[in-house]
Amino acid sequence: MERASQFRDVLKAHKVGEFMTTNILVGKEEFTLSHITRLFNELRIHHLPIVNDENQVKGIVTANDLLRKFSMMMEMGRSPESGNQDDELIAADCLTKEIVHCSPEDSILTAIREFAKGKFHALPVLSDGELVGIFTAEDLIRFLDKVSK
């Protein structure tokens, strides 16, 4: 029991800002889904925060969002490539608008609790309403690896 308490203290002591990814790619609401799919594939990313011109997060597009949208299109008899470019879906058509986020000062434990709710694998990190990073399940694994040594 004491070991669990010590580990909880470690999780509380370390901040999201220490382990978040700061070199992040962001998108705009007008990015096409085919462009986002290409970015995910080429850069091996799974989350794309969508921001406005003031770098404020409008939502996030995830690989799961794309899969759901493409699946719905297929069920309706459309392929992602069908139609002309004017008909092509854009980020605004499938982004998750009600995002859960954290701040650089939040503890790792706070982030774990959000991940444990089971809906998200990435938390945009905001400071004064502005996107400063993203904390992903991969960042959490990197943290756990570091503290377990």
- CATH number for the domain that contains residue 52: 3.10.580.10
pLDDT in tens, 2-61: 877 888 888 899 999 999 999 999 999 999 998 999 999 999 999 999 999 988 899 999
pLDDT in tens, 55-86: 889 999 999 888 888 888 778 776 655 544 44
What's the domain count of the chain?
A: 1
Give residue 29's domain range: 2-147
Q: Which of 4, 14, 40 is nearest to 139 (CA)?
A: 14
The DSSP secondary structure of 32-53, one letter per residue, reads BHHHHHHHHHHHT-SEEEEE-T
d(CA 137, CA 149): 19
Judged by DSSP in three states, 137 sits in helix
Instruction: Say what the pLDDT of residue 108 is.
Output: 96
pLDDT in tens, 98-123: 889 999 999 999 999 999 997 888 99
